[in-house]
Structure 1
Amino acid sequence: MRVSAWLICLSLLSTPALAGSDVTAAQGVIRAQEQALARDDGASAYAQAAPEIQALFPSIEVFMAMVREGYAPVYRHKSFEFGAAQAEDGVIAQRVHIVDANGEAWEALYTLQTQPDGSLKITGCSLLKTGQSV
């Protein structure tokens, strides 16, 4: 047991320092979108989406309709807490534990990617009700 704990610590230490700041930045982008959605500020929420997402949903109104209909736990929730994250080669995967407005638990997996201008944008969000399998 001591050896495996040591290996886990060693693997955590081998993660580049930049990854930690990338994860912090990614959480800031996700939090900005989450707060914009809470205020029904479609323009700010849409601004956090990567160009590929904006191309799929070419207006703020279409984007917000998609969020309201397909991502109700993200749109309206009781709690929204960051879980584990991974950063590699400009791509960040961030888990978020959500309790929706009805008290049901969800797990969201956000992906973000560094854009040519150096900013991070959300490239996707997958939702899974806690207790469901893929």
Structure 2
Amino acid sequence: MKTHSHPALAQWRRLLAAFAAAMLLCGAAHADPLAPADEKGVRAAVEGQLAAFARDDAAKAFSFAAPNVRKTLGTAQAFMAMVRRDYPVVYRPASVAFLKPDGKDDQAVQRVQMADSSGVSWLAVYSLERQSNKAWRITGCVVVENRGRMA
């Protein structure tokens, strides 16, 4: 069954994505270096989700999403469908290069340079939040075409 978004909802999503991108990029400019253990945890969360996408393991990919994301999307299948539709380079990157994460308090930003199957370079900017159990979970991802060089 194919569903169609209402035009107003689609426009709202685009505006929300643009706002989120601006906030992520502005916040990143004021972030501090993370402790080595936090750097490792942040990267592991993003790597784990990318590995789950590569295996089409919706449940595992969904497990790396923060509780607010899981609540909004409802099911692992809905999450995977959204990623396939809206984030094809994240779903199936041809290559990835992790940049150094940074953050402040319980918030972090992980930038990942990606190339798609056509060789186009993209920058995925992930926002993450440390949970009460100290695990890092992904709260959002904004993808923009990367006109710079791959790392």
Task: Name the TM-score class by shorter chain.
Answer: 0.7 to 0.9
Measured after TM superposition, the shift of residue 87 of structure 1 is 2.1
Matching of residue 48 in structure 1 with residue 64 in structure 2 = yes
Matching of residue 111 in structure 1 with residue 127 in structure 2 = yes
Measured after TM superposition, the shift of residue 83 of structure 1 is 1.1
In proportion to residue count, which structure has more strand?
1
Aligned to 2:55: 39
Aligned to 1:81: 97
Aligned residues: 117
Measured after TM superposition, the shift of residue 76 of structure 1 is 0.7
Gaps of 5+ in 1: 1-14
Q: String of CA shifts for 1:65-119, please: whole Å, max 9, x gaps.
A: 1000011000011101101321210111010000012211000101111112221
What are the equivalent positions in structure 2 for 1:64-103 lying under 5 Å apart? 64-103=80-119
Measured after TM superposition, the shift of residue 25 of structure 1 is 0.8
Q: String of CA shifts for 1:10-43, please: whole Å, max 9, x gaps.
A: xxxxx67x62221111101100000000000000
TM-score by length of 2: 0.73
Q: Is the 8 A contact 2:123 2:144 kept in 1?
A: yes
Q: Is the 8 A contact 1:23 1:87 kept in 2?
A: no
Matching of residue 57 in structure 1 with residue 73 in structure 2 = yes
Alpha-carbon distance between aligned partners in 2 of 1:113 and 1:19, rounded to the nearest angstrom:
14
Moved more, 85-94 or 41-50: 85-94
Aligned amino acid, residue 117 of structure 1: N
Aligned to 1:7: none
Q: Is the 8 A contact 1:29 1:48 kept in 2?
A: yes
Q: Is the 8 A contact 2:42 2:101 kept in 1?
A: no
Matching of residue 24 in structure 1 with residue 25 in structure 2 = no
Q: Is the 8 A contact 1:19 1:88 kept in 2?
A: no
Identity %: 36
Gaps of 5+ in 2: 1-31
SS at match of 2:119: coil
Measured after TM superposition, the shift of residue 131 of structure 1 is 2.6
TM-score by length of 1: 0.82
What's the C-alpha RMSD, in Å, of the aligned pairs? 1.6
